[in-house]
Amino acid sequence: MAKERTLSIIKPDATRRNLTGKINARFEDAGLRIVAQKRLWLTRGQAEAFYGVHKERAFFNDLCDFMVSGPVVAQVLEGDNAVAKNREVMGATNPAQADAGTIRKDFAESIEANSVHGSDSAENAAIEIAFFFSEIEIVG
Ligand code: ADP
Ligand code: MG
């Protein structure tokens, strides 16, 4: 399996509850390496741009409000099959449907405040990584 990179975001519900380290341990325990990481408070414009693919969805405005309600931690995870591996570690979007032992099952507050974002394809991972990081900031 080829080494791959994916974009992860620890969302405001998780930073508010001081869960960054516990969530990072889940990634590392699954064999994913955190090869870039920064904590930032998104502007409304940045949140809308990042979630632009969802702008027609009913939850878009609430989602953007939530994403600017506190700091986030943006990170690049690297490893074999990193996109799929990260989605597996995260669990389903709705924590009520997430498998036992996943981040969202153990930490998410709701389908919206679900603690983590992870890219859904290698193609989107490349776009989302470039949204937050320049190549010089990613050290594998
Ligand atoms: P995922 O984050 O699992 O890839 P989506 O890309 O479908 O899920 O949705 C992006 C984010 O929008 C979700 O992580 C969640 O925070 C929010 N969201 C998705 N569906 C809903 C919904 N039905 N109601 C409220 N928020 C939602
Ligand atoms: Mg998604």
Q: How close is the Cα of 69 to the center of ligand 2, in Å?
A: 19
Q: What CA–CA distance (Å, rounded) separates 90 from 85?
A: 9
Q: What CA–CA distance (Å, rounded) separates 125 from 86?
A: 11
Summarised one tens digit per residue, pLDDT across range 80-136 is 999 999 999 999 999 999 999 999 999 999 999 999 999 999 999 999 999 999 999
CA dihedral 43, 47, 50, 53 (to 10 degrees): -150
Show the tokens assigned to 60. Answer: 């878009």
Inter-residue contact 15 to 68 (CB < 8 Å): no
> Which ligand has an atom closest to residue 54 CA?
1
Catalytic residue list:
117
Q: How close is the Cα of 29 to the center of ligand 1, in Å?
A: 25
Q: What CA–CA distance (Å, rounded) separates 82 from 27?
A: 10
In this prediction the pTM is 0.98
List all residues whose CB is within 6 A of at least one atom of ligand 1: 54, 59, 63, 93, 111-112, 114, 117, 120
> Which ligand has an atom closest to residue 92 CA?
1
